[in-house]
Amino acid sequence: MKKILALLLVTPLIFISCEGDQGPPGPPGEDGLDGGQGRIYEVSVDQFEYIEGDNIYSAIFDFSDVFSESHNVFVYHLLVIEDDQGNPVDSWDLLPYSVFTDQGTFQYSFNHTSFDLEILINGDYDLSNISTAYTQDQIFRVVVTNNTIEEVANINNMEEVMKTLKINNIEQLNIRKN
């Protein structure tokens, strides 16, 4: 019985102390997005460009060093609202979203390729005269991640997205001049 007990205690030690050759290294991950992490870029639009023939406003950003075909992209628009005491509070709204006016409805939306991001304002009426409050000095945050929507907690809440993706810093990105 003692021999069996000794054998049972020694056998695991043999397997633990044996070390074979190290295998080949795995493929490198994407910079900044390893392990399902993500990045957030803050972009400012001083003035959207109005494209009369299409009745849209557009701002294009160069993301050639940021995106790849496998990334998911979420864009949030900063709206400053007031709390119950009248103090300003940052509110980040996920695009697309609609704005309702007396003239009709317009929408902030976006599209992207692997090298750029375009933020658009389009609507169901002539937008050439909408208030500059909607077309000037606008701030957006762009989340770039390998995670799917299902893997991100509450996609409508940018703070929760940052926490889920373990993002602590926000990078600045400048608008590309057309």
pTM score? 0.70
Give the max Cα distance, the chain: 93
Among the ranges given (3-17, 71-85, 123-137), the one the predictor scored with the smallest mean pLDDT: 3-17
Torsion region of 36: left, alpha or beta (phi above 0 gives left; psi -120 to 50 gives alpha): left
pLDDT tens digit sequence for 92-125: 999 999 999 999 999 999 998 878 899 999 999 9
Rounded CA gap, 175 and 83, in Å? 31
* Chain CA centroid to CA 133, Å: 24
Q: How confident is the model at residue 64 (pLDDT cuts 50, 70, 90)?
A: confident
Rounded CA gap, 103 and 51, in Å? 19
Rounded CA gap, 59 and 160, in Å? 27
pLDDT at 177 over 50: no
Q: Which parts of 70-163 are beta strand (E)?
A: 72-82, 88-94, 97-100, 105-112, 116-123, 136-145
DSSP state of 1: -
pLDDT of residue 30: 47
